[in-house]
């Protein structure tokens, strides 16, 4: 019975330590905002087409039956 409590406590401690380390690593990331250009986004969207050769190649390679 004591062994089960001890191993359970170790598991909880490891889990908490893992979450703490993950939080610390995620907290160290730095976000750099960049301005968006609505005109450029609209132009890129308008330029999309289902006739795009790269799209056809991608679909042929990835949708093999």
How far is the C-alpha of 62 from the C-alpha of 25, rounded, in Å?
34
In tens, the pLDDT along 17-62 reads 999 998 888 777 778 899 999 999 999 999 999 999 999 999 999 9
Look at residue 58 in the predicted model and tell me its pLDDT.
Answer: 94
Within its chain, how far is the Cα of 39 from the centroid? Answer: 28
Look at residue 57 in the predicted model and tell me its pLDDT.
Answer: 94
How far is the C-alpha of 62 from the C-alpha of 65, rounded, in Å?
9
The model carries a pTM of 0.40
Look at residue 30 in the predicted model and tell me its pLDDT.
Answer: 77
């Amino acid at each position: 019975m004591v062994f089960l409590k001890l191993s359970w406590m170790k598991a909880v401690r490891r889990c908490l330590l893992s979450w703490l380390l993950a939080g610390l690593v995620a907290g160290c990331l730095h976000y750099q905002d960049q301005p968006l250009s609505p005109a450029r986004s609209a132009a890129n969207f308008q330029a999309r087409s289902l006739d795009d050769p790269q799209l056809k190649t991608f679909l042929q390679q990835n949708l093999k039956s």
